Amino acid sequence: MKTAREVLNFLKWGLNIDFARVKIDCSDRTLIIGFKNIEGNTIRDVERRYFTTDRGRIPLYKIQKIWLDGNVIWIRKRK
């Protein structure tokens, strides 16, 4: 799987797992550490270019890592 969207959709529809097991690291330049961790149980929808959480819409390009049960399953490749 190449994109974060494909991975999230596979987890949601292909494996049909509970998103509470998923965590996402998203880049956030407003934080000192440079990223924020989003709990999977706050994810409501995966759209074409965004994913929706309880607090708003976040662009998929901001996703840096996707975790499942404490293991990294996807990392954004650096150009």
List, for residues 56-78, the tens digit of each pLDDT value: 899 999 999 999 999 999 999 87
31 vs 64, which has greater pLDDT?
Answer: 64
Residue 25 CB: number of other CB atoms within 10 A? 20
- pLDDT of residue 32 exceeding 80: no
3-class secondary structure, 9: helix
Between CA 46 and CA 33 the distance in angstroms is: 25
Amino acid identity, residue 58? I
3-class secondary structure, 44: strand
6-15 average pLDDT score: 90
The pTM score is 0.87
Listed in sequence order, the residues at least 6 apart from 44 whose beta carbon sits closer than 8 Å to its beta carbon are 52, 53, 54
